[in-house]
């Protein structure tokens, strides 16, 4: 349920923000979606607080009483494994007068004690103590209330990946993720023992709208330009070093357009890309376990598991395998400020040498001072500043690949047996931007539905 006090509001015509005329070859998004602070507030209410938001992974809270703190939109959330082993999600808010109970990013505690008046809760969220309750002169109505921490409306896991929702009015997580799980599972299945958390965050905060990082992760078009210095460093490594030493993902695939790529949209705003027949796959850390993978899941699936690929699960989480694999949780702060909580997951049982290679490749590309991610961060800020040109309503940003759009699955999806709503297949040189159609259709749908429901309450 939405707990906001209901006040009159002016209805917006959200159709004005997404201009989809595919028969005319046009797909545009209004720049106000990146720069209007009021629209940002509505996005929090109509999108982030009305759908499944990624909260964390089992591997971050392996022991009883382990917790991580996160947000749904901007609402503070604790994801904790109780002393009974069950994972729950609570609002990080003392029932009494509201202070945040967990102040750290992560930790382990069997008791949450509010520093203000001393109310105490266990790791299952149950209120253990209302300080000086007997002498408190409380009414019977108060005594009949539950004082337990507020559990969020829905919490479900897909194989150790937890999503939560502040409203119960959502489909099951399985329905929500749909066939996008084919991508998520392509990482989970890399080890028969699933994934573990490699510590050492690569978080970054940028002066730009939350949708910029969402778009960026599905964008191959920027690689050659924005990541030229990463590409050059890698080419130098290939020139100067022996085969055993170079161990980096080269960008020949981009320069020489030797690879093909499929882009997909799924129901509920999810997007993905999958690079086929990439060169030097043997330099990926997961190659160390390739034979085992192939024997377990077959060669086609194993090849997909090893490939460069990205899955965007709308609106909160990005699974990115460029140089290597990274999870990126999006945390919007304001219309022009976003925090990305980024961490490394890796197959359990990976040989030590492959693990060290994975960590170095991760730092190469993704670190806050790596050879690539800082350039992204800088360009988000530049774009946010450019978008202040309010004379302008539209970018020309989403037209690449629009002629290659097809309804339903492409051949690669058919081979793997999954069903996207839209596919785009072509040379890597196409570097399609039409993949954003799915996420923005969902944006539009959520904004309209959210507004309809809010107005209906008046």
Partner 1 sequence: MTQQEAEQFLFAEVGLLDKRDYQGWRDLFAAEGVYWVPVNDTEADPQLNCSVIYAGAAQLDDRLERATSSYFWADQPAIKSVHTVSNVSVVAGKNTDEITLLANQVVYLFRDNDQRRDQGLEILPASSEYRLNRIDQSWRIGLKKLNFLQADGYLPLLPAFV
Among 377, 384, 432, 451, binds partner 1 (CB under 8 A): 377
User: Which residue is it, tokens 């429901």?
Assistant: 453
Among 22, 26, 86, 241, binds partner 1 (CB under 8 A): 241
> Applying CB under 8 A, does 237 fall inside the site for partner 1?
yes
- Pairing status of strand 161-165 against strand 154-158: antiparallel
> Applying CB under 8 A, does 354 fall inside the site for partner 1?
no
Beta carbon of residue 246, minimum distance to partner 1 (angstroms, whole number): 8
- In terms of CB distance, is 206 or 443 closer to partner 1? 206
> Applying CB under 8 A, does 352 fall inside the site for partner 1?
yes
> Applying CB under 8 A, does 344 fall inside the site for partner 1?
yes
Beta carbon of residue 356, minimum distance to partner 1 (angstroms, whole number): 5
Among 147, 355, 400, 445, binds partner 1 (CB under 8 A): 355
Query: Are 323 and 37 in contact, with CB atoms under 8 Å apart?
Result: no
Please identify, among the stretches 74-82, 265-273, 366-374, 425-433, the one whose residues bind partner 1 according to the rule CB under 8 A: 366-374
Among 153, 378, 416, 429, binds partner 1 (CB under 8 A): 378
Give, in order, the Cα–Cα distances in Å from 280 to each of 201, 350, 370. Answer: 27, 19, 21
Please identify, among the stretches 143-151, 210-218, 252-260, 348-356, the one whose residues bind partner 1 according to the rule CB under 8 A: 348-356
> Applying CB under 8 A, does 201 fall inside the site for partner 1?
yes
- In terms of CB distance, is 169 or 375 closer to partner 1? 375
Q: What is the dihedral of CA 179, 181, 183, 188, to 10 degrees?
A: -160
> Applying CB under 8 A, does 323 fall inside the site for partner 1?
no
Name the phi and psi angles at 20, rounded to 5. -110, 105
Please identify, among the stretches 36-44, 117-125, 239-247, 440-448, the one whose residues bind partner 1 according to the rule CB under 8 A: 239-247
Residues 6+ apart with CB under 8 A from 347: 190, 191, 193, 194, 195, 196, 286, 289
- In terms of CB distance, is 69 or 423 closer to partner 1? 69
- In terms of CB distance, is 385 or 452 closer to partner 1? 385
* d(C-alpha 95, C-alpha 79), whole Å: 17
* d(C-alpha 98, C-alpha 445), whole Å: 33
* d(C-alpha 115, C-alpha 349), whole Å: 42
> Applying CB under 8 A, does 200 fall inside the site for partner 1?
yes
- Pairing status of strand 87-91 against strand 120-122: unpaired
- In terms of CB distance, is 368 or 404 closer to partner 1? 368
Give, in order, the Cα–Cα distances in Å from 42 to each of 35, 69, 152, 240. Answer: 13, 24, 20, 53
- In terms of CB distance, is 66 or 363 closer to partner 1? 363
Longest dimension (CA), the chain: 79
Residues 136-195 that bind partner 1 (CB under 8 A): none
Give, in order, the Cα–Cα distances in Å from 160 to each of 59, 66, 155. Answer: 8, 15, 12
* d(C-alpha 451, C-alpha 16), whole Å: 14
Residues 211-230 that bind partner 1 (CB under 8 A): 226, 228-230
> Applying CB under 8 A, does 375 fall inside the site for partner 1?
yes
Q: How many alpha carbons fall within 13 Å on the CB side of residue 227?
A: 28
Which two three-digit tokens encode residue 283?
A: 């330099």
**DSSP output for 152-188:** -SEEEEETTEEEEES-S-S--HHHHHGGGHHHHHHHH
Beta carbon of residue 374, minimum distance to partner 1 (angstroms, whole number): 4
Please identify, among the stretches 17-25, 141-149, 200-208, 327-335, the one whose residues bind partner 1 according to the rule CB under 8 A: 200-208
Residues 80-119 that bind partner 1 (CB under 8 A): 105
Provide the binding-site residues for partner 1, judged by CB under 8 A. Answer: 105, 198-205, 226, 228-230, 232-234, 236-237, 240-241, 245, 344, 352, 355-356, 359-360, 362-364, 367-369, 371, 374-375, 377-379, 385
């Amino acid at each position: 349920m939405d707990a906001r006090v209901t006040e009159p509001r002016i209805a917006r015509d959200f159709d004005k923000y997404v201009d989809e005329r595919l028969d005319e070859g046009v797909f545009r998004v209004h720049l106000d979606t990146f720069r209007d602070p009021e629209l940002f507030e509505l996005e929090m209410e109509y999108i982030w607080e009305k759908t499944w938001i990624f909260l964390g992974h089992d591997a971050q809270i392996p022991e009883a009483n382990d917790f991580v703190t996160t947000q749904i939109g901007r609402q503070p959330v604790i994801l904790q494994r109780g002393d009974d082993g069950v994972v729950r999600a609570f609002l990080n808010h003392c029932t009494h007068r509201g202070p945040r109970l967990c102040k750290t990013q992560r930790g382990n505690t069997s008791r949450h004690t509010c520093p203000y008046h001393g109310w105490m809760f266990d790791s299952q969220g149950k209120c253990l103590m209302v300080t000086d309750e007997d002498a408190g002169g409380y009414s019977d109505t108060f005594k009949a209330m539950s004082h337990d921490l507020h559990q969020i409306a829905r919490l479900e896991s897909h194989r150790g990946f937890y999503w939560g929702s502040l409203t119960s009015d959502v489909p099951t997580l399985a329905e929500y993720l749909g066939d996008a799980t084919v991508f998520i599972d392509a990482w989970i299945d890399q080890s028969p023992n699933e994934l573990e958390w490699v510590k050492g965050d690569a978080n970054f905060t940028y002066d730009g709208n939350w949708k910029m990082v969402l778009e960026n992760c599905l964008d191959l078009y920027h690689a050659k330009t924005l990541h030229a210095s990463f590409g050059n460093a890698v080419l130098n490594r290939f020139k100067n070093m022996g085969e055993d030493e170079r161990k980096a993902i080269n960008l020949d695939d981009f320069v020489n357009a030797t690879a093909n790529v499929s882009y997909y949209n799924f129901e509920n705003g999810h997007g993905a890309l999958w690079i086929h027949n990439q060169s030097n796959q043997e330099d990926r850390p997961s190659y160390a376990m390739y034979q085992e993978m192939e024997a377990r899941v077959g060669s086609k699936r194993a090849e997909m598991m090893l490939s460069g690929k990205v899955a965007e699960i709308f609106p909160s989480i990005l699974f990115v395998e460029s140089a290597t694999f990274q999870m990126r949780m999006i945390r919007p702060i304001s219309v022009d400020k976003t925090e990305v909580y980024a961490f490394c997951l890796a197959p359990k049982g990976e040989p030590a040498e492959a693990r060290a290679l994975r960590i170095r490749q991760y730092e190469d590309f993704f670190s806050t001072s790596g050879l690539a991610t800082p350039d992204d961060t800088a360009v988000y800020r530049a774009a946010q500043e450019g978008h202040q040109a309010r004379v302008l309503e539209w970018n020309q940003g989403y037209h690449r690949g629009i002629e290659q759009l097809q309804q339903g699955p492409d051949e690669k999806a058919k081979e793997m047996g999954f069903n996207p709503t839209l596919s785009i297949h072509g040379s890597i040189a196409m570097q399609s931007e039409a993949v954003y159609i799915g996420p923005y259709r969902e944006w539009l749908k959520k904004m309209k539905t959210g507004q309809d429901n809010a107005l209906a309450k008046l």
